[in-house]
Amino acid sequence: MKVVIQRSKKSAVLFNNQKNEIDFGIVVLVGFTEGDDEKTIDYIVNKMLNLRIFDDQDGVMNKSLIDINGSILSIPQFTLYAETEKGRRPSYIKALDPQKATKLYDLFNQKIKENNINLKQGLFGAEMEVKITNDGPVTIIIER
Protein backbone atom coordinates (compact mmCIF):
# COMPACT_ATOMS: atom_id res chain seq x y z
CA MET A 1 0.00 0.00 0.00
CA LYS A 2 1.23 3.45 -0.84
CA VAL A 3 -0.23 6.81 0.15
CA VAL A 4 0.81 10.28 -0.86
CA ILE A 5 -0.30 12.76 1.80
CA GLN A 6 -0.51 16.46 1.05
CA ARG A 7 -1.29 19.03 3.69
CA SER A 8 -4.14 21.09 2.29
CA LYS A 9 -5.82 24.43 2.87
CA LYS A 10 -8.74 23.61 0.56
CA SER A 11 -9.22 20.74 -1.88
CA ALA A 12 -11.95 19.10 -3.92
CA VAL A 13 -12.69 16.15 -6.16
CA LEU A 14 -15.22 16.24 -9.00
CA PHE A 15 -16.69 13.07 -10.55
CA ASN A 16 -20.03 12.02 -12.05
CA ASN A 17 -21.43 15.56 -11.60
CA GLN A 18 -20.63 15.38 -7.88
CA LYS A 19 -18.23 17.55 -5.89
CA ASN A 20 -16.68 16.58 -2.55
CA GLU A 21 -14.45 19.10 -0.80
CA ILE A 22 -12.58 19.83 2.42
CA ASP A 23 -11.42 23.12 3.88
CA PHE A 24 -8.41 22.16 6.01
CA GLY A 25 -6.59 18.88 6.50
CA ILE A 26 -4.95 16.42 4.14
CA VAL A 27 -5.48 14.99 0.70
CA VAL A 28 -4.54 11.32 0.52
CA LEU A 29 -3.81 9.63 -2.80
CA VAL A 30 -4.20 5.88 -2.15
CA GLY A 31 -2.82 2.91 -4.08
CA PHE A 32 -2.90 -0.82 -3.34
CA THR A 33 -0.68 -3.72 -4.37
CA GLU A 34 -0.61 -7.50 -3.88
CA GLY A 35 -0.29 -8.49 -0.21
CA ASP A 36 -2.13 -5.47 1.18
CA ASP A 37 -4.68 -6.35 3.84
CA GLU A 38 -6.48 -4.98 6.90
CA LYS A 39 -3.25 -4.91 8.95
CA THR A 40 -1.60 -2.80 6.25
CA ILE A 41 -4.53 -0.40 6.29
CA ASP A 42 -4.52 -0.18 10.10
CA TYR A 43 -0.82 0.75 10.05
CA ILE A 44 -1.25 3.41 7.35
CA VAL A 45 -4.37 4.97 8.89
CA ASN A 46 -2.74 5.17 12.35
CA LYS A 47 0.45 6.67 10.93
CA MET A 48 -1.43 9.13 8.74
CA LEU A 49 -3.77 10.42 11.47
CA ASN A 50 -0.95 10.88 13.97
CA LEU A 51 1.78 12.35 11.74
CA ARG A 52 2.84 15.68 13.22
CA ILE A 53 2.73 17.77 10.03
CA PHE A 54 0.71 20.79 11.19
CA ASP A 55 2.16 23.88 12.81
CA ASP A 56 1.84 24.63 16.49
CA GLN A 57 1.67 28.18 17.90
CA ASP A 58 5.43 28.56 17.29
CA GLY A 59 5.26 27.53 13.64
CA VAL A 60 6.82 24.12 14.31
CA MET A 61 5.24 21.00 12.80
CA ASN A 62 4.13 19.47 16.11
CA LYS A 63 0.43 18.81 15.58
CA SER A 64 -1.37 15.90 13.95
CA LEU A 65 -4.55 15.83 11.91
CA ILE A 66 -6.36 14.68 15.04
CA ASP A 67 -4.91 17.60 17.07
CA ILE A 68 -6.19 20.18 14.59
CA ASN A 69 -9.53 18.43 13.98
CA GLY A 70 -8.70 18.34 10.26
CA SER A 71 -10.49 16.64 7.39
CA ILE A 72 -9.38 14.09 4.80
CA LEU A 73 -10.02 14.03 1.09
CA SER A 74 -9.35 10.42 0.03
CA ILE A 75 -8.57 9.75 -3.63
CA PRO A 76 -8.02 6.23 -5.06
CA GLN A 77 -5.07 6.24 -7.45
CA PHE A 78 -3.82 2.96 -8.90
CA THR A 79 -1.16 4.87 -10.88
CA LEU A 80 0.91 5.15 -7.69
CA TYR A 81 2.19 1.68 -8.58
CA ALA A 82 3.30 2.61 -12.09
CA GLU A 83 6.52 0.91 -13.21
CA THR A 84 8.57 3.18 -15.48
CA GLU A 85 11.96 1.49 -15.78
CA LYS A 86 11.30 -0.15 -19.15
CA GLY A 87 10.11 1.71 -22.20
CA ARG A 88 8.05 4.87 -22.23
CA ARG A 89 4.63 3.51 -21.32
CA PRO A 90 4.09 2.91 -17.59
CA SER A 91 3.18 -0.61 -16.55
CA TYR A 92 0.58 -1.05 -13.82
CA ILE A 93 1.24 -4.73 -13.19
CA LYS A 94 2.04 -4.04 -9.51
CA ALA A 95 -1.28 -2.24 -8.96
CA LEU A 96 -3.82 -4.50 -7.28
CA ASP A 97 -6.71 -5.95 -9.28
CA PRO A 98 -9.53 -3.34 -9.33
CA GLN A 99 -12.08 -5.61 -7.64
CA LYS A 100 -9.76 -6.34 -4.70
CA ALA A 101 -8.49 -2.75 -4.57
CA THR A 102 -12.04 -1.38 -4.39
CA LYS A 103 -12.74 -3.51 -1.31
CA LEU A 104 -9.54 -2.33 0.36
CA TYR A 105 -10.27 1.29 -0.53
CA ASP A 106 -13.71 0.98 1.08
CA LEU A 107 -12.13 -0.56 4.19
CA PHE A 108 -9.49 2.19 4.27
CA ASN A 109 -12.18 4.87 4.26
CA GLN A 110 -14.22 3.01 6.89
CA LYS A 111 -11.18 2.89 9.21
CA ILE A 112 -10.78 6.66 8.85
CA LYS A 113 -14.45 7.23 9.69
CA GLU A 114 -14.09 5.01 12.78
CA ASN A 115 -11.64 7.63 14.09
CA ASN A 116 -14.32 10.36 13.87
CA ILE A 117 -12.52 12.16 11.04
CA ASN A 118 -14.50 14.25 8.57
CA LEU A 119 -13.94 12.29 5.36
CA LYS A 120 -14.75 13.16 1.78
CA GLN A 121 -13.73 10.84 -1.01
CA GLY A 122 -13.43 10.14 -4.70
CA LEU A 123 -14.83 7.13 -6.50
CA PHE A 124 -12.69 4.14 -7.39
CA GLY A 125 -12.56 3.66 -11.17
CA ALA A 126 -14.17 7.00 -12.01
CA GLU A 127 -12.62 9.80 -14.04
CA MET A 128 -11.94 12.46 -11.42
CA GLU A 129 -10.73 16.03 -11.41
CA VAL A 130 -8.78 16.72 -8.22
CA LYS A 131 -8.02 20.26 -7.09
CA ILE A 132 -5.44 20.50 -4.30
CA THR A 133 -4.24 23.62 -2.56
CA ASN A 134 -1.10 22.15 -1.01
CA ASP A 135 -0.22 24.00 2.20
CA GLY A 136 3.50 24.47 2.75
CA PRO A 137 3.95 22.65 0.44
CA VAL A 138 4.03 19.55 2.62
CA THR A 139 3.94 16.18 0.87
CA ILE A 140 4.69 12.88 2.62
CA ILE A 141 4.80 9.39 1.07
CA ILE A 142 4.14 6.32 3.19
CA GLU A 143 4.54 2.82 1.82
CA ARG A 144 4.09 -0.45 3.62
Domain boundaries, the chain: 2-143
- What is the chain's Cα-based Rg? 15
- Return the CATH architecture of domain 2-143: 3-Layer(bba) Sandwich (3.50)
Which of 6, 33, 77, 121 is flagged as catalytic? 77
Q: What pLDDT does residue 41 have?
A: 98
> Is 18 in the active site?
no
> Is 40 in the active site?
no
Which of 24, 32, 54, 78 is flagged as catalytic? 78
Report CA-CA distances (Å) from 104 to 4, 128, 142.
16, 19, 16
Q: What pLDDT does residue 4 have?
A: 98
User: Contact 94/85 with Cβ under 8 angstroms?
Assistant: no
Q: What pLDDT does residue 23 have?
A: 95
Residues 88, 82: Cα–Cα separation, whole Å:
11
Q: What pLDDT does residue 121 have?
A: 98
Report CA-CA distances (Å) from 4 to 44, 56, 58.
11, 23, 26
> Is 79 in the active site?
yes
DSSP 19-85: EEEESSEEEEEEE-BTT--HHHHHHHHHHHHH---EE-TTS-EEE-HHHHT-EEEEEE-GGGG-B-S
Q: What pLDDT does residue 45 have?
A: 98
Q: Which parts of the chain sit beneath pLDDT 70?
A: none
Q: What pLDDT does residue 25 have?
A: 98
Q: What pLDDT does residue 105 have?
A: 98
Q: Cα 51 from chain centroid?
A: 13
- Residue 39: how many CB atoms within 10 A of its CB? 9
